């Protein structure tokens, strides 16, 4: 990380310093359990607990300074070395912004390039981030988020992993309201901004899908005229963002080869569910084959987005295609395929769920299982607000429309999905409703047969990813482990 003294931290965050001004932290943590010698511990009021209660624990583990919203004293009444600010999260953002400025100016002085790429969209951010980081790291030192870090805390923590040796910095940007992407984009000042799609996830929270589109487009508004806006032309709401940026626009599309844009030609899905296509880049050269190892046609969007962003970062087409063809899923529970000894195949996509990803996963299940008995084991999509019942109804209808053989709906929150599948004509013996994950497990243990293909999908909190893991063990070898 770029080093700041305690005095600089206080100055940059408009905070009050208590303690030695020359102390210079060597890492930043927001979880006291991750503190180590030299850490700056950021005490913020969290969802479940107030970080100020763990200052002592952080110092025990070697923290040298705390960024806090109030003075914290030890058992003897002496204050811990601290910078006290009004809002610790905003202070973290200010430090991240200064980190970016320093990296940029240090590298410029040395005549070295530094490229920041921001990625937003309602689905596929983490997948695209992983693919893009995979490509870029073949060319230069690349820093990208751990897991799905994409918010007002996760973005600064990612930035602190970069330093003057970093060539590419990839930032995932998530939002739950208007202004959130602007805040993150102003912090990291991306050179390249990627908008994947505008979905209906969190539409309730946002106050409608138009507000989601406004928010995602904030990334493009933040780009300068030297930047590149990488946009998905196959999503009408994203394509309509073109006038919202001063930057050069590079569109990508899987539906037709447009000479000025990035295109996927001859798209196909092989028998393993892996998409392939010929990547056409506006570089005057021939198209290059991409043969992905990610499951599902929806990943064509993510592969194209990563290719377009890499192209905007001056990576050669052959390097892009080679990297995209070699990368498998980098994170767990994303269309993760497991073969059971008895011939049952599990696809565990229950990392999280929203209407777009639910639909994509079901389409992949139907496609992959054309010759097999298919099972959709589904739980609720949470956080949909007023649209919840309607969206669950739509999933039930889609299960019927796609001709999925068997449906198992887990938990009352997903009841509407079950009811709508019945209403749409799924015979009663082909669908099951279970109150709990445990009941679903018992049912699957009894019912699954050799050759079955089983998809698990729900929001994270419903925990079907663990049910998928348990079910993927061979029937008799399974243990009661893996509870949520
Ligand atoms: N283009 C897409 N269309 C529909 N679903 C997708 C698409 N890309 C990925 N998904 C699915 O969406 C889910 C989440 O993918 P991913 O983690 O890449 O998205 P994300 O935008 O980072 O999500 P989050 O908002 O949870 O961070 C996965 O189940 C994945 O299979
Ligand atoms: Mg993510």
pLDDT digits (tens, 9 = 90+) for 320-375: 999 999 999 878 899 999 999 999 999 999 999 999 999 999 999 999 999 999 99
Q: Looking at ligand 1, which residue's alpha carbon is closest to its atom 15?
A: 124
CATH architecture of 90-326: 3-Layer(aba) Sandwich (3.40)
CATH for 6-86, options being 3.30.2130.10, 3.40.1390.10, 3.40.250.10, 3.40.50.300: 3.40.1390.10
Residue 162 has pLDDT above 90, yes or no: yes
The fold for domain 336-471 equals 3.90.190
Q: Looking at ligand 1, which residue's alpha carbon is closest to its atom 12?
A: 357
Q: Looking at ligand 1, which residue's alpha carbon is closest to its atom 13?
A: 357
The dihedral region occupied by 168, where left means phi > 0, alpha psi between -120 and 50, and beta the remainder, is beta
The atom of ligand 1 lying closest to the CA of 351 is 29
Whether the Cβ atoms of residue 356 and residue 123 lie closer than 8 Å to each other: yes
d(Cα 263, Cα 256) in Å, to the nearest integer? Answer: 7
pLDDT at 479: 44
Terminal C-alpha separation, the chain: 35
Strand pairing category for 27-29 and 275-280: unpaired
- How big is the chain, counted in residues? 484
- C-beta neighbour count of 226 within 10 angstroms: 9
Non-local (6+) Cβ contacts of 139 within 8 A are 167, 168, 315, 319
Tell me what percent of the chain is helix, strand and coil, each rounded to the nearest 5.
Answer: 40, 20, 40
pLDDT at 483: 39
Distance of CA 119 from the midpoint of ligand 2 (Å): 10
Which of 118, 122, 125, 127 is the pocket-test mutation for ligand 1 (most atoms within 8 Å of CB)?
127
Q: Three-class SS of residue 98?
A: helix
Nearest to 217 by CA among 204, 231, 233, 207: 231
Q: Which residues line ligand 1 (CB under 6 A)?
A: 123-127, 148, 150, 174, 197, 298, 301-302, 334-335, 349, 351-352, 356-357, 360-361
What is the model's pTM? 0.89
Nearest ligand to residue 130 Cα: 1
pLDDT at 481: 44
Nearest to 134 by CA among 5, 326, 397, 296: 326
pLDDT digits (tens, 9 = 90+) for 194-211: 999 998 766 777 888 899
pLDDT at 46: 74
Whether the Cβ atoms of residue 363 and residue 323 lie closer than 8 Å to each other: no
The atom of ligand 1 lying closest to the CA of 300 is 1
Phi and psi dihedrals of 192, rounded to 5?
-130, 130
Q: Looking at ligand 1, which residue's alpha carbon is closest to its atom 7?
A: 124
Whether the Cβ atoms of residue 306 and residue 315 lie closer than 8 Å to each other: no
Nearest ligand to residue 120 Cα: 1
Distance of CA 149 from the midpoint of ligand 2 (Å): 7
The b/e string for 185-214 (b: 16+ C-beta within 10 A; e otherwise) is bebbbbbbbbbbbbbbbbbeebeebebbbb
What count of Cα atoms within 13 Å lies in the side-chain half-sphere of residue 325?
14
* Residue-range domain boundaries for the chain: 6-86, 90-326, 336-471
pLDDT digits (tens, 9 = 90+) for 239-283: 999 999 999 999 999 987 677 899 999 999 998 899 999 999 999
Nearest to 110 by CA among 166, 54, 65, 157: 166
Residue 397 has pLDDT above 80, yes or no: yes
Distance of CA 475 from the midpoint of ligand 2 (Å): 32
Which of 119, 120, 123, 361 is the pocket-test mutation for ligand 1 (most atoms within 8 Å of CB)?
123
Distance of CA 299 from the midpoint of ligand 1 (Å): 9
DSSP string, 382-445: ---GGGHHHHHHHHHHHHHHTT-SEEEEESGGGHHHHHHHHHTT--GGGEEEESSHHHHHHHHH
Whether the Cβ atoms of residue 168 and residue 117 lie closer than 8 Å to each other: yes
- C-beta neighbour count of 425 within 10 angstroms: 9
Topology agreement, domain 6-86 and domain 90-326: no
């Amino acid at each position: 990380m770029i080093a700041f003294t305690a005095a600089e931290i206080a100055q940059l965050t408009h905070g009050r310093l208590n303690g030695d001004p020359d102390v210079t932290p060597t890492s930043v943590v927001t979880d006291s359990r991750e503190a180590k010698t030299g850490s700056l511990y950021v005490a913020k009021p969290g969802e479940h607990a107030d970080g100020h209660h763990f200052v002592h624990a952080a110092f025990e583990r070697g923290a040298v300074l705390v960024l806090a919203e109030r003075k914290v004293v030890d058992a003897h009444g002496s204050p811990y070395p601290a910078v006290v600010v009004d809002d610790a999260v905003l202070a973290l953002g200010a430090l991240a912004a200064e980190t970016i400025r320093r990296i940029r100016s240090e590298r410029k002085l040395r005549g070295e390039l530094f490229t920041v790429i921001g990625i937003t969209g309602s689905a596929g951010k983490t997948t695209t981030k992983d693919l893009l980081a995979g490509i870029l790291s073949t060319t230069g030192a690349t820093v990208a988020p751990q897991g799905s870090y994409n918010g007002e805390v996760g973005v600064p923590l990612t930035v602190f992993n970069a330093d003057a040796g970093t060539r590419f910095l990839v930032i995932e940007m998530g939002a739950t309201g208007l202004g959130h992407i602007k805040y993150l984009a102003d912090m990291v000042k991306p050179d390249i901004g990627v908008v994947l799609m505008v979905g209906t996830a969190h539409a309730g929270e946002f106050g409608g899908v138009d507000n989601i589109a406004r928010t995602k487009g904030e990334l493009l508004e933040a780009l300068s005229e030297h930047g590149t806006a990488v946009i998905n032309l196959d999503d009408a709401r994203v394509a309509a963002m073109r006038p919202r940026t001063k930057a050069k626009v590079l569109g990508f599309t899987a539906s037709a080869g447009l000479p000025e844009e990035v295109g996927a030609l001859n798209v196909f899905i092989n028998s393993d569910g892996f998409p392939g296509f010929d990547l056409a880049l506006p570089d005057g050269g021939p198209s290059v084959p991409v043969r992905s190892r990610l499951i599902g046609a929806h990943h064509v969007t993510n592969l194209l987005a990563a290719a377009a962003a890499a192209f905007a970062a001056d990576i050669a087409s052959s390097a892009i295609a080679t990297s995209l063809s070699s990368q498998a899923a980098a994170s767990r529970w994303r269309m993760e395929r497991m073969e059971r000894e008895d011939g049952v195949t599990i696809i565990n996509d229950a990392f999280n769920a929203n209407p777009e990803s639910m639909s994509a996963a079901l389409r992949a299940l139907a496609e992959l299982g054309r010759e097999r008995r298919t099972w959709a084991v589904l739980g609720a999509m949470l956080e949909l607000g007023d649209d919840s019942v309607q969206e669950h109804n739509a999933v039930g209808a889609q299960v019927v429309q796609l001709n999925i053989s068997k449906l198992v709906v887990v938990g009352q929150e997903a009841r509407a999905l079950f009811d709508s599948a019945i209403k749409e004509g799924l015979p009663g013996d082909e669908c099951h409703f279970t109150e709990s994950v445990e009941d679903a497990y018992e049912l699957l243990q009894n019912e699954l047969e050799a050759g079955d293909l089983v998809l698990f999908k729900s929001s994270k909190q419903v925990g079907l990813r663990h049910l998928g893991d348990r079910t993927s063990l061979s029937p008799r070898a399974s243990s009661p482990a893996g509870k949520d």
